[in-house]
Amino acid sequence: MSTPSHPRPGDKVPPASRANIPRLITDYFTLKPDPADPAQRVAFGTSGHRGTAAAASFTESHIAAITQAVCDHRARAGITGPLFLGKDTHALSEAAFTTALEVLAANNVDTMIDQSGGYTPTPVISHAILTHNRNRTTGLADGIVISPSHNPPEDGGFKYNPPNGGPADTDITGAIQNAANAWLAAPATIKRATNPTRAACIHRHDYITPYVADLENIIDMQAIAASGIRIGIDPLGGAAAAYWDPIIARYNLAATLTNPLIDPTFGFMTLDWDRKIRMDCSSPHAMTSLIALQTRFDIAFATDPDADRHGIVTPSAGLMPPNQYLAAAIAYLCTHRPHWPATAAIGKTAVSSAMIDRVVAAQGRTTIEVPVGFKWFSAGLIDGSLAFGGEESAGASFLRRDGSVWTTDKDGLILGLLAAEITATTNTDPARYYAEITETLGTSHYERIDAPASPAQKTILAKLDPSSVTATTLAGDPITAKLNRAPGNDAPLGGLKITTANAWFAARPSGTEHVYKIYAESFISRDHLNAVQAEAQTLVSGLFEKG
């Protein structure tokens, strides 16, 4: 693939666009954040704290402060078991891992790190926590994952998973955030160990073998192997790279790792829609390289750097939109998991496709609709009241074949392997499987767009009272609901959702940019979707004017 002087989305990354890793690491260790500057303080969103060293928003000071705050939380909560520590392949993850280890060792926290110094996917940390905590009431484990997910190479991220194995809820993250910012103002008081890997409380742990051996209890690996289907796998230079060879060998899969490279600049990627490097396995631009190989395989898939998201590439349709694959996966699982509890519901976020609701209803199950954030699914996956939890951003997990919990965080590896199972057992790829679903349940037209919004306008949208919406119709249909709380758990949506019999839209402020996001769907036509989107923007603009 050529690289023109003005590269376009989907083009190979030009050398000039690659991160300067030595400078990035230097910034991490030398720049000191200003605790009085909101942009440089610790801020936990739905995926933990994220930032970049160049902007002094992800530095050694941040990680030391956050890790100390996690140690404080463990002491308050009486968490005395091991802490499972993982990292992905971003350059800052390696540096932050060392800082976190220094603080954990100084606090005498029994910490489990990869036995060979390698990388550990988010779902593997969740799996390790739950495996340790099974049938325990004391000595419970928790975990940390150092990863900014699919974000650009310059970014860093830090996530905390409590003993339930899933993303921490706001009561925990709020306390950790506040404590971390207090430590950020007094960094010299944080205890840190020298040569932390030599500390008695730091233990080398085999993460790979238990996870790989357990996969047969959630995926029909025997059926995949017996079918002989050709599988293409691209870990996008992420933490899952070292897991695939053991998986392929153990289960005798006809699979090929299309890109085994680990490169902190992610220079092997293709540019995303905005010409940035982003390892987003749901983006057709970032997935250009694997899509180009779609006819070489019966099924192909990718995971992002911490392997909590998935991207499914089929020979018949290329990259599947995440909502379409979620609907296909749910439809398949509901008919191929006879040991799942009959009463177990299916969890979805409020901005996921309503096709999921139709699929679930056709299977005689219930849909539980929650706000954005996988943390809302954790409790249900643990107690079996949820069989599946999925987000429109290509993240999901589901129960084992016997109906017990697998992970309470998103797992891109099992969603990729499930695509292989669907292909092996139905003799059709997931895109064709989804197309068969639409023949009886209708055709979905779904899209997310961004619109400009000032900080003040984003605040208005986040706190909006649905009663302020006076409209009675949307794109020609009567409005059936005006929501600012999720119907599945009554938690705040952080925005607005309007529904009709044939369509819906949801508007949510971005947490990082001066925009708000409009998610919309129509079951009538693309033109009808366009009308929904136009009326949504007009409606929201009117609410901004009212203040």
| C-alpha closest to that of 82 among 135, 146, 149, 131 | 131
Convert 464-485 to b/e letters by CB count within 10 Å (16 or more is b).
Answer: beeeebeeeebbebeeeebbbe
The H-assigned helical ranges of 363-399 are 378-383
Q: Tokens 């402020």 sit at which residue?
A: 509
Burial of 153 (0-12, 13-18, 19+ CB in 10 A): buried
Q: In 299-410, at which residue ranges do the beta strands (DSSP E only) sit?
A: 299-303, 310-314, 318-319, 345-349, 367-370, 386-391, 395-398
Residues with a catalytic annotation lie at 149
CB atoms closer than 10 angstroms to residue 266: 24
H/E segment holding residue 535: helix 526-546
Do residues 344 and 386 make contact, with C-beta atoms less than 8 angstroms apart? yes
Token pair belonging to 245: 């060879």
- Tell me which H or E stretch contains 421: helix 412-426
The 10 Å Cβ neighbour count of residue 378 is 26
- What is the token pair recorded at 410? 């998103």
The rounded Cα 85 to chain-centroid distance in angstroms is 18
First to last CA, the chain: 50
Residue 240 identity (one-letter amino acid):
A
CA dist 481 and 357 (Å) reads: 16
Whether the CB-CB separation of 409 and 374 falls below 8 Å is answered with: yes
CB 92 within 8 A of CB 104: no
Number of other CB atoms surrounding residue 181 within 10 Å: 18
